[in-house]
Amino acid sequence: MDATTRQRILDAVDAGFAAQLEFTADMVRFPSMRGHEAAMQQFMADQLTARGYSVDHWKIDVGDIKDMRGFAPVEFVDYAEAFNVVGTLTPREVKGRSLIINGHIDVVPPCDETRWTTPPFEPRIEGGRMYGRGAGDMKSGLAAGIYAIEALKSAGFRPAAPVYLQSVVEEECTGNGALACIQRGYKADGALVPEPFGASIMRAEVGLIWACIDIEGDPQHASAAFKNVGANALEKAIHIWPFMKRLEAEWNARKVDHPVYKDHPHPIRVNLGKLSGGDWVSSVPAKARMELRIGVLEGEDLAKIRQEIADRLAEACAADPYLAEHPAKLTFHGFMADGYVLQPGSDIEAAMGTAHQAVFGEPVTSTISSAVTDARFFGLYQDTPSLVYGATCGLPHGIDEYVELDSLQQVTRVYALFIAEWCGLEAI
């Protein structure tokens, strides 16, 4: 790419940035939490259609994907609103390498709406940041991918290879949205997942399992409990938790043998994400449910890890006289994710490195994550090098989540040059 073309593209990104932010804000206004994604995906389908993509908009059918590698079990939820949208741009003549740009539009709940400075689904720009649930993770990333291509168009070009813009659901709970794109037949020479982990190439991500533990108590009148009659399901959950939490330290200790994670301070986290039970203050809770997010070191066999979780729960139950007789029930009800490493030396990393250097004036670095993204699907199950690189997000999944606008603009510039480099350009 000559210097004039490069400058034209960068100027086009800057000129379109205000519109990009408006579009991002429109996305953030949708409270697209799990089970409430359909309206947002209709919006995405309309937006991509208006921008000249040929759009595939479909409802995910668990039956289509349940036997595929990478499938995560779906329990306790229905997929009535689980739609995917893929917009395809096709050149007149294919000269470059095709690209998937994959982002998720599902967001996690706001934690506690009352503690946000302004409501989570009313985006606010202040002090160089956009605040809102999903502003960082990762609606701004998906919007940046779209606006990088819009910038190429305003500069008079389009990608000289097919681009598949994937707007998916289920990233925050299973990954089945990205998996459904694979089932649908989408494949490319490379994939970009614009998650907001910063302008650095994510070298590795951990695996992840969601586990649900159901405990049945013995509901008797609370005043009888002192006679050792009945069993309080919530108290039994509290008994079980330290056994499960111990897995975190044990599995982190295994990192010493890992080629990538040995340098990470604390890759594995076991999080008690939800604890529920009881229906009346003066009754002994009849049931309790604990839901755990369990990190898995990259390279571990998920079947083996599931067995370790089951064994640990059995140990906890055996240590309590009531639970020994009435063991808790274990269900895997979401994430069943393998870890993923992007091996150094890929062409896609080189292309991103060139684009990063042109914008930031320094070589791109890499990072190792204790989180999970949809990048694994392309890398592990399609043999497609898959790259995570994005803007800087603050407080993802927290209160007052935001994206740094300066980083977002720089990263959009990088995306535009990267797409030009990877796909090549053809004049419109």
Applying CB under 5 A, the residues found at the interface with Zn ion are 137-138
DSSP 8-state class, residue 139? I
Query: How far apart are CB 132 and Zn ion at their closest, in Å?
Result: 14
Q: To the nearest whole angstrom, how small is the minimum distance from the Cβ of residue 383 to Zn ion? A: 23
194 contacts: CB under 8 Å, gap ≥ 6 = 101, 103, 138, 141, 142, 144, 145, 388, 389, 390, 391, 411, 415
- CB closer to Zn ion, 108 vs 275: 108
Q: Are 24 and 131 in contact (CB under 8 A)?
A: no
Token pair, residue 324, equals 């020994």
56 versus 401: smaller Cβ distance to Zn ion: 401
Cβ at position 372, least distance to Zn ion in Å: 9
Query: Contact at 8 Å (CB) between 244 and 313?
Result: yes
- Whether residue 263 contacts residue 370, with contact meaning beta carbons closer than 8 Å, is answered with no
Which lies closer to Zn ion via its Cβ, residue 129 or residue 158?
129
137 vs 401, beta carbon nearer Zn ion: 137
Q: Where are the alpha helices (DSSP H) in 227-272?
A: 233-253
DSSP H/E element including 201: strand 201-205
Q: How many Å apart are CA 386 and CA 70, to the nearest integer? A: 15
Q: How far is the CB of 171 from Zn ion (least distance, A)?
A: 6
Which one, 108 or 302, has the nearer CB to Zn ion? 108
Beta carbon nearer to Zn ion, 91 or 136:
136
Sequential DSSP letters for 354-394: HHHHHHHSS---EEE-SS--THHHHHHHS---EEE---BEE
Compare residues 231 and 375 and give the one whose CB is closer to Zn ion. 375
Residue 274 CA: distances (Å) to CA of 49, 168, 237, 292, 331 = 39, 25, 11, 7, 14
CB of 281 to Zn ion, least distance (A): 38
The 8-class DSSP code of residue 128 comes to T
Q: Which residue number, 138 or 416, has a Cβ lying nearer to Zn ion? A: 138
Nearer Cβ to Zn ion, position 327 or 398? 398
The two tokens of residue 195 are 């998650």
Report in angstroms how near the CB of residue 180 gets to Zn ion at its nearest.
17
Span between the terminal Cα atoms of the chain, in Å: 16
- Residue 274: CB minimum distance to Zn ion, A: 19
CA distances for 41 relative to 53, 104, 295, angstroms: 15, 10, 29
SS3 state of residue 345 = coil
Nearer to Zn ion, 138 or 234 (CB): 138
Closer to Zn ion by CB, 137 or 426: give it: 137
Provide the CB-side half-sphere exposure for 353 (13 A, CA): 11
Q: What's the DSSP call for residue 35? A: T
Cα distances from 56 to residues 83, 111, 138, 383, 405, in angstroms, run: 10, 33, 21, 23, 31
User: Considering the complex, what minimum distance in angstroms separates the CB of residue 103 from Zn ion?
Assistant: 8
Name the amino acid, one letter, at 305.
Answer: I
Q: How many residues would you count in the chain? A: 428
CB of 305 to Zn ion, least distance (A): 23
